[in-house]
Amino acid sequence: MDQLLHEPHHDGSPLYVESESSPLGSRVAVLVRTSTAEPVDAVWLRTVEDGEPFFAACEVDRTEGGATWWRGSVTVHNPVQRYRFMVVAGDSFRWLNQAGVFDRDVTDAHDFRITAYEPAPEWGRDAVVYQIFPDRFARSAAADDRPIPDWAVPAQWEDPPIHEGPHTPLQFYGGDLDGITEHLNHLVDLGVDVVYLTPVFPAQSNHRYNASTFDAVDPLLGGDAAYRRLIDAAHERGMRVLGDLTSNHTGDTHEWFLAARADDESPERSFYFFGADGSHEGWKGYETLPKLDHLAPDLGERFRAVVTRWLEFGIDGWRVDVANMTGRRIDVDVAHEVAREIRRAATAVRPDALVVAEHGHDATGDLDGDGWHATMNYYGFSFPIWEWLRDPKRPVPSFGLPVGIPRRDGIAAVTAMREFTASFGWRATASSWNILGSHDSPRIRTTTGSAALHQVAAVLQFALPGVPMVFAGDELGLEGVNGEDSRRTMPWDHPRAFTSRTSAVYADLARLRRAHPALRRGSLRWVRIDTDDIAFLREHHDETVLVIVSRNGAGAPGLLDLPELAGAQLLLLGIGEEAGPHARVWQIS
């Protein structure tokens, strides 16, 4: 499929769009690239303004290196301005939108877009994010002096996690915030820019998503003082810290819920959904996680206070749990309003605060406005990679599905990624997190079944548009068949675990991503897609990066001989099973 390089191309990167965010009424220059090998007679820009399509002719800007560049101008008439291109050759034409090139009519859903809303902060888009589940990362000496809580099932650090049954959320290892602080240099060596912690609020579980208050840090983690030490130590090392907030529900021991249950006339009563018999609605039926009613008049102010308090305390942004369900119930949908208010509260305190939404499936439509900056991109990144690189020799568990992960070819994987990029838009995709696993999913090493394919997945995680989010322990090759099993402890007493080839690959990829703007801000052009091999270019004004990945070790033979690739300055290569574990980088002469 080398002819992919000859397809007309446009995306939201700086090579093709003068400005990805511009005020209403402004005009933004946009460019389309076509190949002289497949001549084009004309290119028309189609915009949709107030629901009506308009056409304007593009002009040839320049011809160089086998490419003709066409220039048009988009007026930002609506806050989210959509546009696409009509590429004319002979007596026919094709449509060019974010999903690709089509010789048939297409809907507006996948049109390119320029928005009048501010983008995610620069640091959030350029980062390497590292997720930590505090109970399982590290214990400081002070943890030994804290009492075991009444709800807990105590565990030794080397014990395997309980990942099925009623004791799953109760198994308690006692990791704490000072333990994280003591190991921040590991994150520095790995190239991490952002530390994302799952909740630190008091709760009667090891995951702490059933908070009893949002106003204090769990004493079992060391309390507010330990949080301050961690934040300060991270900032001293040039890293940011993200908190985790449950906007969809609280715990049933939360002070708001206790007040609501105790007094029918309390303002907190309206925060929850109570039945006439006094029963309450829980998230997905879990009574310990009472769902919040965001139509309640005082609830928004309470959340603004929480968001503000911890940003003033020192964190740099929030990951918002179950953002897809927040404010949504039967005939009510105020999800966008909630997202907007949380972001406004955050940026009022910290103009560069980052707000990332958890969304376990399709976040289409939730990322267009002035709400969430980005999402955890499971369906637009994780699932295609899992399906392409899953272990073909055995069943592989999935995340959120009633069946295991199927094995699909590279064409299916890339098609899925392109469609979700088109649905989210380039800007939201580039700001969203590329995830190979999290505390909610099986580990990537378990999914792929090998270090070699795990490393191939890591190359894609760092090289495709988006922000790599590494779940603590992935760099060591930790395994896990589901989210709870994946919450394994870090083996600090076994230094050899930290000297693996996989760990070195992660550090190298983080270094390369920081050093090469094309890997952070470059355009994406597909070069070759077939069953076992995927190749693409990341192009920037300053450089071009060629990325070749293979799941069987074939390595896309003959690809480097293509004349269109002669200008690539850097090659990033991931090779799979048959050739052994490789992730290499070198210059193309």
Per-residue pLDDT of the chain (589 residues; tens, 9 = 90+): 456 999 999 999 999 999 888 999 999 999 999 999 999 999 999 999 999 999 999 999 999 989 999 999 999 999 999 999 999 999 999 999 999 999 999 999 999 999 999 999 999 999 999 999 999 999 999 999 999 999 999 999 999 999 999 999 999 999 999 999 999 999 999 999 999 999 999 999 999 999 999 999 999 999 999 999 999 999 999 999 999 999 999 999 999 999 999 999 999 999 999 999 999 999 999 999 999 999 999 999 999 999 999 999 999 999 999 999 999 999 999 999 999 999 999 999 999 999 999 998 899 999 988 999 999 999 999 999 999 999 999 899 999 999 999 999 999 999 999 999 999 999 999 999 999 999 999 999 999 999 999 999 999 999 999 999 999 999 999 999 999 999 999 999 999 999 999 999 999 999 999 999 999 999 999 999 999 999 999 999 989 998 989 998 766 556 666 777 766 777 777 777 655 545 555 554 4
Query: 2-115 belongs to which homologous superfamily?
Result: Immunoglobulins (2.60.40.10)
CATH code of 250-291, in short, is 3.90.400.10
Contact between 240 and 234 under an 8 Å Cβ cutoff? The reply is: yes
Contact between 388 and 396 under an 8 Å Cβ cutoff? The reply is: no
Per-domain residue ranges for the chain? 2-115, 250-291, 521-586
Contact between 396 and 405 under an 8 Å Cβ cutoff? The reply is: yes
Residue 581's pLDDT is what? 46
Which residue's entry shows tokens 């378990």? 446
Contact between 503 and 186 under an 8 Å Cβ cutoff? The reply is: no
Q: What is the pTM of this model?
A: 0.96
**CA 308 to each of CA 3, 85, 106, 294, 346: distance values in angstroms, whole numbers, following the listed order:** 52, 43, 43, 18, 6
Of 421, 423, 503, nearest in space to 465 by CA: 421
Q: Which residues, 6 or more positions from 94, have their beta carbon under 8 angstroms from its beta carbon?
A: 8, 86, 87, 101, 102, 103
Q: Which residues, 6 or more positions from 365, have their beta carbon under 8 angstroms from its beta carbon?
A: none
Please report, to the nearest 10 degrees, the dihedral formed by the alpha carbons of residues 233, 235, 239, 244 taken in order.
80
| Residue type (1 letter), 348 | A
The alpha-helical segments, DSSP class H, found in 60-133 are 122-126
